[in-house]
Each structure stands twice: as C-alpha cells, then as structure tokens.
Amino acid sequence: MALIPYLQVENLTKSYGDRMILDTVSFGVNEGDKIGIIAKNGTGKSTLLSIIAGNEDYDSGKITLRNGLRVAYLSQTPDVPRSSTAIDACIAMTVGDDLHGDLRERAERILTQLGISDTNADVEHLSGGQRKRVALAAVIVSEPDLILLDEPTNHLDIDVIEWIEGWLKKQRVTLLMVTHDRYFLDRVCNQILEIDRQQIYSYNGNYDYYLRRRQERLEALSNEHARLKNLLRHEQEWINRTPSARTGKARYRINAFHDLKDRASVNLTEREVNLNVKSSYIGSKIFVAHDISKRFGEKVILDNFNYTFARYDRLGIIGPNGIGKTTFIRMLQGLIPPDSGYFEIGETVRFGYYSQEGIDFDNSKKVIDAVNEIAEDIVVNDNVHYSPLQFLQYFLFTPADQQKYIARLSGGERCRLHLATVLMRSPNFLILDEPTNDLDIITLSLLEEYLLEFKGCLIVISHDRYFLDRIVDHVFVFHGNGNVEDFPGNFTQYRAKQAEKTKEVTIEKKENKPRRDKAERPVRMTFKERREFEELTAELDALNTEKAELEAIFNSGEQIPDIAERSRRYDELLTIIDEKEFRWLELSEKS
C-alpha cells in the first residue's frame, strides 16, 4: 500500500542566540505513523513540536504539511481558558469547524472518560493536572489527522494514562509525540526518532526495539571513534616528521589531517550523567509512624496509620491525584503536622526531598551562583570533595551551561538542577515526589541505576509504571477515606493481583448463587409461576439483546452520544439481568 505523506521536515535549523538547538534536521511522517521523539533535555524536543504546530519560528529549512491536514497540538503546559467551564473550554480549544456529530455531547463523553466528572466545573478551580485533561480532551474531540503531544502523561493519574494509551492504540490516528513514559512509548509507538548531537536517527519499531538498535549504533560509533583515533596517531606521526610541503598532495593530506582531528575529538561521553553519589550511613532505627491521623474538613487522608520503616525500605506510593499522597510525605518530614499521633525518627536519618513543585530558584541568578549559595565545598561518599563547578558537570551542566541564567533553563534542566541540589547532600532517606515528570529518558535511566544501588530508605510517588517496576519492592495504594493498602510487590504485580481478584469475585458470584435442595423442590410449577417463568424468559431475551447492543456500541471506537447515561443503563442492566436470571433458575428447577 502506498504511503501517504502527512508531514515533511527538511534541513530544519533553530538556535537561541549562539546556542544551536536543531541543526539541519530532516524527517517525514506518513499517515498511520505513531512516532515517539527521544532526546536529552534541552536538545529541542519541545521546540520541534512547537515549530511544527506553527507556534514558533525557525531559522532555516522547510516544513511541509499535506493540504487540508487538521493538526491538534498539546503543549506541556497548555493555556486553558480560565474564565470558563471545563466543557466550554474544551469546545473553545478544538481545532477545525467541520467536526461531525454533536460537539458538546462528544466533549462531555471524553471529559468524563478522562476523569472530569463535573464538566461544568470552573477551570479556575481545577488543578494543573485537571486543566491538562481538558486540553487533552480538546485534542481528542477535534478528531485531527495529525496529533502532536508534548509529555501528555505528565501530572496524570495512572488510570487516565492507561485510558489514553488504549485510545491511541485503538484509533487510526497519526501521532508525533514527546514523552519519557517508556511503557507508553513501547505500547503506542511504531517508530522512534532520537535527537543526538544535533542529528536525528530513526528506528522503525517500539521503544524496546529502539533500545537494542541504539546500543548497536553506539557500539559502532565507539568502534569508529577508536579507528579514527588510531588513524589520527598515524597521521600525527607523519605531520611531525614531514616538513611543511608545498605540493598539492601534501597540502591535501595536511587538510585531511585537521578534518580527522576534529572528527576524532568528539567526546562520546560528554553528555552522560554520572550519579556516583552514595548515601551517608543509616542506622537500624529509621522511622516509625504511631497512630497518625490527618484530615482536611470532611476529607480523610490518614486514620490511625501505623508503619515502621525498615533499613533499605523501597516504597512506591500510588493513587489518584488529590487523594493525599504529597500530604503524607510532607507529614513524614515534619513539613505538615498530623492531627493526632506522632513520628519517631532515627538519629542518623538525613532526608533528601525532591518535591513536585521544585525549588524556588532565583531566576536572575546563574546556575553556578545558585549552587554556590548552597555549598562551596560539596562532600560526597564521606571523603570526596567537589567544587560546585565539578559537581554540576556530573549532572550535564557544562561550564558554559553553568553560566546560563536560571530563567533560561528548560523544565527538564531545572529538574536536573533540583536533583543535583538534593543529592549533593548525600541523603540516606530519599523522598521523591513525581521525579519523572520533566526528566529525559537518559537521565531517568541513570537515576534508576543510582537508586538501585542506593543504600538507604526510599519513598517514591510516581505515575511512571516503568520507573515503579524497576525501583520499588512494595507499594502503598491510597484508596481514599484514610484507607492505605500496603501491597508487597511492584506496580505491575499489583495490577495483576487486582485483575485476579476481579476475576475471582466474578466466578465466586456465579458459583455461590443459592439453590434449593432437590428434596425441597415442589413437584411442578403453579399456573402463576408458569406465567412468571414465560414472562421472565421474554424479559431476559430483551434485556440481553439491549446489553449486547450497548457492548457493541462501547467496542465500536466511534463517538457515543450520552455516554454517561448509556454507562449507567449498562450497569443497571447487569444488576437486573442478574436478579431475573436467579429467579428464572429457581423456577426452571421445578418440574
């Protein structure tokens, strides 16, 4: 089948002052492609999407979109109209004016599926995550030909992320996306674009395929680099023993030598994060929570909560946004007082807190000056000393980057700086609140390696399923109303257990329906019971037909008017059918 081109980017170049972001980048997007873009923070991922969306200029190159192509764009921090309701803002943000079907009904259905149950709520009172859901709903409602998504999973609940993941897999949409969510990439994308050293590399497969092929590319690059260095040594010897010649051949070889020198001088590890920062010693007594209770008005966060943190405890915390996860970890550190109960903290405990909000850096300061204010001498592993300049280089801040004003840092760079200020204190009890939101995949992978070797206690709040699966060995599941479940295992194991429980309940419900003992059964139905049995048979046929029709609608992948009403009717049908089938079985056992 012939490929239908949707987007062509040719020799795209973009710089900010003397800093080159994109250098002659070229690639194409065809109908049906689902492409994930991977690159280190600050290398132009978000800029690239913004340029394609028409929101930002570029220096040179060419961008060609197919005529009549409808494009929808979700930025990292979408601008949602504040003086509006959620549903009106969603409709206002849709693109195009020829959308089929009832727009308001479709918007209400998508908002409900994204967890905005009150579609008439004022945007001004919504959280950042909820506002992002409104913007995402507008993208979906627009029914675009090409979707541009910049970190769509940031600040979203796991349930919502999995819904979006399922929707993108099911729909025949064309997608160009920046995300650090590796499960999301693996399950949605069929192509990966990697931006590395201002060049772009394409991998025709999902994230798992990309990892294998990228390693092969890096090994080949390393081998080529070694070959060039050997050749350079040979040519250097020739230059040293050969006087400057005026012949064309000699001049050509001299010019080639300088070109070779540039190529061989590339530092293949210059952008690798080194997190070789160990924790300080932690004693056997860590942390004990005694009968902790906390509520805000009618909202119960904890109710007589007790827990003893063991040495090297690795805990993940999951649950819907707004349920109290951040309040919980802030109470652990004494930043918020409990209503009742108390904490015992071991004398050797040294907290390191990476907060979701980040540090309130002074934007008028340079990176190096901000770190100097915290410590001029950084001691790690008890006896290794670093200057702030040396330490920041381990976190991808080159000497030139360290002279940048904080106001000019990208979101990911600010997060990296925040992480550096946390780890520079060598904590032994790390508390990380949504650490994956703005870190690139490379930094995330290295942070994971650091945490796997971390000799201390660890608490992580995260919606990143891949991150949780690698790092934690048990999870607190916040269910609401003070109910906190401690599950022994990682996130995927918890999800599997939940699915198993749901299956067991369904089977048990069917198997445990009470039946009359044969000895107690009447010999035959009465006339009234016979009429009831016939009516039940007809009713069950009609009810099961209606149930099957609703299931066909739900599985069609098409827009569904009055989705909330239809969902309620479906749940009602299940209850009615269950009750009537039980009575039908009772009567059918009579002769």
* Digit-coded pLDDT (tens) for 421-434: 888 888 889 999 99
pLDDT score at 268: 47
The whole-number average pLDDT for the span 558-563 is 68
Choose the most confident range, by mean pLDDT, from 163-172, 245-254, 407-416, 569-578: 163-172
Tokens of 235: 């040519």
Q: How far apart are CA 304 and CA 281, in angstroms?
A: 31
Place of tokens 């009609």: 542
Decide which of 496, 523, 555 is a domain's last residue.
Answer: 496
| pLDDT interval class at 236 (50, 70, 90) | low
176 and 27 together in one domain: yes
Decide which of 468, 496, 524 is a domain's last residue.
Answer: 496
DSSP, res 488: S
CATH number, domain of 473, equals 3.40.50.300
> Which helix (H) or strand (E) segment is 174 a member of?
strand 174-178
Which residue type, as a one-letter code, is found at position 78? P
Give the orientation angle of helix 563-588 with respect to helix 103-113, to 10 degrees.
70
Burial group, residue 80, by CB count within 10 angstroms (0-12, 13-18, 19+): buried
Q: Outline where 242-387 has alpha helix (H).
A: 248-264, 325-332, 367-374
Give the range of the structural domain holding residue 194, as residue numbers without chain letter: 5-210
Q: Is residue 254 part of a domain?
A: no
Q: Is residue 46 part of a domain?
A: yes
448 and 330 together in one domain: yes
> Which helix (H) or strand (E) segment is 268 a member of?
none
> Which helix (H) or strand (E) segment is 60 a member of?
strand 60-65
Q: How far apart are CA 447 and CA 450, in angstroms?
A: 5
57 and 116 together in one domain: yes
Model pLDDT for residues 514-545, shown as the tens digit of each residue: 554 444 444 577 878 888 888 888 888 888 88
Q: Outline where 424-517 has alpha helix (H).
A: 441-453, 465-471, 491-511
21 and 50 together in one domain: yes
Q: In what order do the strands lie in the sheet with 60-65?
A: 19-30, 5-16, 60-65
Place of tokens 């660890």: 458
DSSP, res 356: T
Furthest CA-CA distance within the chain: 120
For residue 381, count other CB atoms closer than 10 A to its CB.
11
Q: How far apart are CA 203 and CA 215, in angstroms?
A: 12
151 and 201 together in one domain: yes
Burial group, residue 87, by CB count within 10 angstroms (0-12, 13-18, 19+): buried
DSSP, res 84: S
Closest-CA residue to 62 (of 72, 51, 50): 51
Q: Is residue 112 part of a domain?
A: yes
Model pLDDT for residues 66-121, shown as the tens digit of each residue: 999 999 999 988 999 988 999 999 999 987 655 545 888 889 999 998 989 899 99
479 and 536 together in one domain: no
| Number of independent structural domains in the chain | 3
Burial group, residue 243, by CB count within 10 angstroms (0-12, 13-18, 19+): exposed
pLDDT score at 264: 53
Tokens of 310: 């063991």
Place of tokens 């204010």: 373
Place of tokens 């201002």: 198
- As a 3-state breakdown, the chain gives helix, strand, coil percent values, each rounded to 5, of 45, 20, 35
Closest-CA residue to 392 (of 404, 382, 410): 404
387 and 294 together in one domain: yes
Decide which of 151, 181, 210 is a domain's last residue.
Answer: 210
523 and 488 together in one domain: no
pTM exceeds 0.75: no
Q: Is residue 236 part of a domain?
A: no
DSSP, res 78: -
Q: Is residue 259 part of a domain?
A: no
564 and 484 together in one domain: no
Q: Is residue 257 part of a domain?
A: no
Q: How far apart are CA 589 and CA 145, in angstroms?
A: 57
174 and 298 together in one domain: no
Tokens of 164: 């979006």
> Which helix (H) or strand (E) segment is 130 a member of?
helix 128-141
455 and 533 together in one domain: no
The whole-number average pLDDT for the span 452-467 is 90
Which residue type, as a one-letter code, is found at position 214? R
Q: Which runs of E-coded beta strand occur in 310-404?
A: 314-318, 340-345, 351-354, 378-380, 384-386
Q: Is residue 37 part of a domain?
A: yes
Q: Of 251-260, 300-309, 371-380, where does mean pLDDT reach its minimum? A: 251-260
121 and 197 together in one domain: yes
| pLDDT interval class at 20 (50, 70, 90) | confident
Q: Is residue 225 part of a domain?
A: no
Model pLDDT for residues 315-336, shown as the tens digit of each residue: 999 998 888 999 999 999 999 9
Tokens of 505: 């309940």
In the three-class reduction of DSSP (H, G, I as helix; E, B as strand; rest coil), residue 127 is classed as coil
Contacts of 23 (CB under 8 A, 6+ apart): 13, 198, 199
CB 148 within 8 A of CB 72: yes
